[in-house]
Structure 1
Amino acid sequence: MTFSRAILAVPSTPKRTEPIGKEGRWYRKPNAVRARSVRRSQHRVRTGRRIPRCQNADAACGAAATEARAGADRKNFPTRALVFSGRGRSFVAHGGASGSQTGLDDQINASARPLVQSIPTAFLHFRTPYGSRMQRVYLASVAVLGLMAARLWMAGPVAAQQYPIEHFDVDDGLPQVQVTSITQAEDGYLWVGTFAGGIARFDGRRFESFGAEDGLADLHISDLLEDRRGRIWVATKNGLSRYEGRDSGTFTSFDTTDGIPGPHVGALAQAKDGPLWVGAGGGVARFRNGAFHPVDSLSGLIVNTLRADDEGLWVGAASGLYRYDEGGVHRPEGPAFFDSSVRAIHRDSSGTLWVGTEEGAARRRPGGAFEPIEVLAGAAVRDFAFTSDGATWAATYPGGLYTFDGGGGVRHLTQQNGLSSGSIFEIHLDRDDNLWIGSEGGLERLSTFRFLRFTEDDGLSHDLAWDIERARGAVWLGTQNGLTRFRKGDFTPLRRDDGLPGSVVYALHTSDSLGTPAPFWVGTRKQGVVRYRGGTRFRPVVPSSRADMSFPSVYSLSGNPTDSLWMGTGGGVRTYDGQRVRADSMLPRQSIWDIHRDRAGRRWFASFDGVRARTAEDRPLSLPDTLRTFPAVSIAEDEAGHLWFGSSKGRLVFYAPPEEGRPARLDWFSKADGMLENTVWFLLFDAQGHLWIGQNRGLSRLDVPHYRRTGEKRFQVFSGSEYPGGESIQNAAARDAQGRLWMGTSNGVLRIDPARHSLASAPPRVHLTDVRTLYEDSTDLAQWADTARTASGLPGGLTLPYDRNHLGFRFTGIDLTNPEGVRYQYRLKGLEQSWSPPSDQQQARFTNMAPGTYTFEVRAQGNDGNWSEPVSYSFTLAPPFWQTRWFYALAFVVLAGALYAVLRLRSRQHRRQRKRLEEEVAERTRDLREQKEKVEQINEELAQTNLEMEQLSMVARYTEDAVLIADAEGRIEWVNDAFVDLTSYDLEELHERFGGSVQEAIAIEDFGDLMETAAAEQRSVSYEWSFEARRGGTRHLASTLTPVFDEAGALQHFVIVDSDLTQRIRVNQELDEQRKLLRAIIDHIPQPIWVKDTESRFLVANAFLAEKVGADDPDELIGQTDFDFFDRELAEKFYRDDQRVIETGEAQIEKEETSEFVDTAETRHTLSTKVPSKTSSSRRATGPGRPPRPKAPSWPT
Structure 2
Amino acid sequence: MDWTSVFKTTPRLSASKCLQLHCVFALAAFLMVPPSQAGDTTSVPSPLPLTDHDKPLSQYALRSWDTRDGLPHNSVNNIAQDRDGYLWLATWEGPVRFNGREFTVFDDLNVLQMPESGVLGVVADPASRSVWFSGPRGGMTHFDGNQWQGMDIAPGFVFQLARDHQNNVWAAASSGGVARYTGQQRTRVYTTDDGLPEGFVYRLYMAPAQGERPERLWVGTSGGLAFYDAASDSFIHDTSFPNEQVRGFLLHSNGMMLVSSENGLYFQNNPGEPFVPWPDIANSRLHGPITALAEGPYGGIWFGTFTRGLGRITASGLSWMDTASGLPNPQVLSIFKDRENNMWVSTHSGLVQLRDALFTSYTETHGVQGNFVRAIAEDTQQRIWVGSNQGLSVKQDNVFTAAVADPDFSPISILAFAATADGGMYVGGYNKGLFKVVDGEVVAQLNRDHGLTRNEVRGIYVLTPQRLILGIPSGFAVVDDTPDGFELVEEYNDPAGRLPATVTDVVLINHTQAFFTSTMGITQVNMVGEPDAWQFEHIDLAAFTPARNAFSATLHEQQVWFATDRGLVMYDLNEQRWHWIGREQGLPFDKYFNILFDEQNNLWLGSNRGVTVVGGDSMAALLAGVQSQVQTFHFREAEGLVSSQVNTGGPSSLRDSYGRLWFATALGVSKVDGFEFSQSDVVPPTSVIERALADGKPLHSGASLSADTQRLEFYFAGLGYRMTDHIQYQVKLRGFDSDWVSQDQQVSTQYTALPPGEFEFLVRSRYPGGVWSEPANLQFQRQPQVWQTLWFWVLVVSAVVGLVYAVFYWRTYQLEQTERELKRLVAEKTRALELLANEDPLTKLANRRAFDQRVQQEVARAKREMTPLCIAIIDLDHFKAINDSFTHSIGDSVLVQVGEVLTTNLRNVDFIARWGGEEFAVLFPNATPQEAKVVCERLRDAMAATRFKQLPEGWKVTMSIGLTELVQGYNYDKALVDADNALYRAKESGRNQLQIAKQLT
Whether TM exceeds 0.5 here: the answer is: yes
**Partner residue of 1:202 out of 98, 106, 111:** 98
**Partner residue of 2:594 out of 682, 691, 714:** 682
**Partner residue of 2:143 out of 243, 263, 280:** 243
Secondary structure of 2:329's counterpart equals coil
Deviation at 1:432, TM superposition (A): 4.8
Aligned to 1:848: 753
Q: For residue 716 of structure 1, what is the amino acid of its counterpart?
A: F
Q: For residue 345 of structure 1, what is the amino acid of its counterpart?
A: F
2:500 aligned with 1:589, yes or no? yes
1:736-755 map, 5 Å: 741-752=661-672
2:167 aligned with 1:255, yes or no? no
Deviation at 1:887, TM superposition (A): 1.5
**For each residue in 1:603-653, what CA deviation from the matched residue of structure 2 results, as whole angstroms up to 9, or x when unmatched?**
554334444567999999999964896743223456x66554322x13245
2:658 aligned with 1:658, yes or no? no
Say whether the 8 Å CA contact 1:552–1:570 is kept in structure 2.
Answer: no
Deviation at 1:421, TM superposition (A): 3.3
Q: Show structure 1 runs of 5+ residues with no match.
A: 1-110, 112-154, 779-793, 910-1197
Say whether the 8 Å CA contact 1:316–1:341 is kept in structure 2.
Answer: no
Aligned to 2:703: 798
1:977-988 map, 5 Å: none
Deviation at 1:773, TM superposition (A): 3.8
C-alpha separation between the residues in 2 aligned to 1:351 and 1:688? 41
Aligned to 2:76: 179
C-alpha separation between the residues in 2 aligned to 1:407 and 1:444? 25
Change in CA separation of 1:854 and 1:511 when aligned onto 2, cut-off 3 Å? farther
2:429 aligned with 1:524, yes or no? yes
Higher RCO (C-alpha under 8 Å, 6+ residues apart): 2
Say whether the 8 Å CA contact 1:181–1:224 is kept in structure 2.
Answer: yes
Aligned to 2:330: 422
2:347 aligned with 1:347, yes or no? no
Aligned to 1:316: 219
Deviation at 1:304, TM superposition (A): 1.3
Change in CA separation of 1:163 and 1:502 when aligned onto 2, cut-off 3 Å? closer
2:678 aligned with 1:769, yes or no? no
2:612 aligned with 1:700, yes or no? yes
C-alpha separation between the residues in 2 aligned to 1:670 and 1:866? 27
Aligned to 2:642: 724
C-alpha separation between the residues in 2 aligned to 1:601 and 1:332? 84
Deviation at 1:357, TM superposition (A): 1.9
Change in CA separation of 1:334 and 1:679 when aligned onto 2, cut-off 3 Å? farther
1:355-434 map, 5 Å: 355-364=259-268, 372=278, 373-374=280-281, 377-388=286-297, 391-405=300-314, 407-413=316-322, 415-434=323-342
Q: For residue 646 of structure 1, what is the amino acid of its counterpart?
A: A
**Partner residue of 1:232 out of 131, 150, 169:** 131
Aligned to 2:632: 715
Larger Rg belongs to: 1
C-alpha separation between the residues in 2 aligned to 1:158 and 1:770? 40
Change in CA separation of 1:908 and 1:208 when aligned onto 2, cut-off 3 Å? closer
Secondary structure of 1:725's counterpart equals coil
C-alpha separation between the residues in 1 aligned to 2:593 and 2:770? 21
Change in CA separation of 1:632 and 1:332 when aligned onto 2, cut-off 3 Å? farther
C-alpha separation between the residues in 2 aligned to 1:349 and 1:652? 49
Secondary structure of 1:422's counterpart equals coil
Change in CA separation of 1:865 and 1:156 when aligned onto 2, cut-off 3 Å? closer
Deviation at 1:467, TM superposition (A): 0.6
**For each residue in 1:310-344, what CA deviation from the matched residue of structure 2 results, as whole angstroms up to 9, or x when unmatched?**
2221403214344557777897989754x423232
Secondary structure of 1:546's counterpart equals helix
Change in CA separation of 1:768 and 1:590 when aligned onto 2, cut-off 3 Å? same
C-alpha separation between the residues in 2 aligned to 1:882 and 1:628? 57
Q: For residue 668 of structure 1, what is the amino acid of its counterpart?
A: I
C-alpha separation between the residues in 2 aligned to 1:347 and 1:160? 22
C-alpha separation between the residues in 1 aligned to 2:203 and 2:407? 60
Say whether the 8 Å CA contact 2:451–2:488 is kept in structure 1.
Answer: no
Change in CA separation of 1:366 and 1:698 when aligned onto 2, cut-off 3 Å? farther
Aligned to 1:475: 384
Deviation at 1:508, TM superposition (A): 0.6
C-alpha separation between the residues in 1 aligned to 2:96 and 2:618? 40
Aligned to 1:222: 120
C-alpha separation between the residues in 2 aligned to 1:268 and 1:717? 40
Bigger drift between 560-569 and 489-498 goes to: 489-498
C-alpha separation between the residues in 2 aligned to 1:870 and 1:897? 52
**Partner residue of 1:435 out of 343, 347, 350:** 343
**For each residue in 1:183-240, what CA deviation from the matched residue of structure 2 results, as whole angstroms up to 9, or x when unmatched?**
233323221112x432111233432222322134343433222211221122334253
Say whether the 8 Å CA contact 2:678–2:769 is kept in structure 1.
Answer: no
Say whether the 8 Å CA contact 2:677–2:769 is kept in structure 1.
Answer: no
Say whether the 8 Å CA contact 2:642–2:665 is kept in structure 1.
Answer: no
C-alpha separation between the residues in 2 aligned to 1:757 and 1:725? 23
Say whether the 8 Å CA contact 1:285–1:292 is kept in structure 2.
Answer: yes
Say whether the 8 Å CA contact 2:362–2:669 is kept in structure 1.
Answer: yes
Say whether the 8 Å CA contact 1:385–1:427 is kept in structure 2.
Answer: yes
Total equivalences in the alignment: 717
Say whether the 8 Å CA contact 1:157–1:489 is kept in structure 2.
Answer: no
Aligned to 1:634: 552
Deviation at 1:468, TM superposition (A): 0.9
**For each residue in 1:763-791, what CA deviation from the matched residue of structure 2 results, as whole angstroms up to 9, or x when unmatched?**
554433333344x411xxxxxxxxxxxxx
Change in CA separation of 1:201 and 1:163 when aligned onto 2, cut-off 3 Å? same
**For each residue in 1:1065-1089, what CA deviation from the matched residue of structure 2 results, as whole angstroms up to 9, or x when unmatched?**
xxxxxxxxxxxxxxxxxxxxxxxxx
C-alpha separation between the residues in 2 aligned to 1:158 and 1:306? 28
Change in CA separation of 1:387 and 1:632 when aligned onto 2, cut-off 3 Å? farther
Secondary structure of 2:203's counterpart equals strand
C-alpha separation between the residues in 1 aligned to 2:159 and 2:411? 64
Secondary structure of 2:384's counterpart equals strand
Give the TM-score of the pair, scaled to structure 1: 0.52
C-alpha separation between the residues in 2 aligned to 1:293 and 1:611? 80
Say whether the 8 Å CA contact 2:594–2:606 is kept in structure 1.
Answer: yes
Deviation at 1:539, TM superposition (A): 0.6
Q: For residue 178 of structure 1, what is the amino acid of its counterpart?
A: S
Deviation at 1:821, TM superposition (A): 5.0
Change in CA separation of 1:295 and 1:157 when aligned onto 2, cut-off 3 Å? closer
C-alpha separation between the residues in 1 aligned to 2:782 and 2:638? 44
CA RMSD after TM alignment: 4.8
Say whether the 8 Å CA contact 1:344–1:357 is kept in structure 2.
Answer: yes
Q: For residue 187 of structure 1, what is the amino acid of its counterpart?
A: D
C-alpha separation between the residues in 1 aligned to 2:423 and 2:64? 49
Say whether the 8 Å CA contact 2:499–2:536 is kept in structure 1.
Answer: no
**Sequence identity (%):** 23
